[in-house]
Amino acid sequence: LRSPKTDPFTWVFIRPPWSPTGSCCKAVVFDRLKAECDGNMEKKGPLLHCLARVLLLFEDEGRRSSAVSLLEESSQAGCLLSSYLLWENSRKAAISDPGRYLQCVRTLRDYAGKGCWEAQLSLAKVCSSGNPLGLESRACSDVVAQVFSSSNP
């Protein structure tokens, strides 16, 4: 059984390369998971996340665009890790604008507060390399310390 806090990882088993015809087992599993999303609303978020992660591994832009769409749908279905990956995707564009970057870091802080491990690590990295939230230096140090003290050895 999988803990509700465990991130979906099925995508690891169906990652590319696939045969060009799409007749390989990985492509069939991908299609079946996609069909399962329509009938299983409870698992829709994690399943769409896994499908998006598979598509992100392909090099062509069409599949990467489809991956972003799946991440958006997964995020709307409640998958926090998909929300974080979308944040990561949009962060690059926000760096050049201080206002957008501040909002970007606030969003990251929200995801970290909800328990997304990747977001917690990113927030610790951001806080250790600067002070984008305008916190006291002690508060930044506390954010970083909290991430590492809460992790399991």
The encoded tokens of residue 1 equal: 């059984």
Helices 44-56 and 61-76 cross at an angle (nearest 10°) of 160
pLDDT digits (tens, 9 = 90+) for 80-99: 999 999 999 888 888 788 88
pLDDT digits (tens, 9 = 90+) for 111-140: 998 989 899 999 888 887 776 666 667 777
What's the one-letter identity of residue 46? P
Task: Please tell me the number of Cα atoms within 13 Å of 14 on its side-chain side.
Answer: 25
Give residue 16's Cα distance to chain centre.
Answer: 19
Amino acid code (one letter) for 90: S
| pLDDT of 12 | 65
In this prediction, residue 5 carries a pLDDT of: 53
Residue 9, pLDDT score: 64
pLDDT band at 70 (very low <50, low <70, confident <90, very high): very high
Cα 89 to chain center, whole Å?
Answer: 9
Across the range 56-66, mean pLDDT stands at 91
pLDDT of residue 131: 65
**Range 51-59 average pLDDT:** 90
Task: Determine the average pLDDT of the residues in 47-58.
Answer: 90
Q: How confident is the model at residue 108 (pLDDT cuts 50, 70, 90)?
A: very high
Residue 41 predicted with pLDDT over 90: no
Q: Are 7 and 81 in contact (CB under 8 A)?
A: yes
Domain ranges in the chain are: 1-83, 95-153
Q: 3-state class of 21 per DSSP?
A: coil
Q: Indicate the pLDDT class of residue 32, thresholds 50, 70 and 90.
A: confident
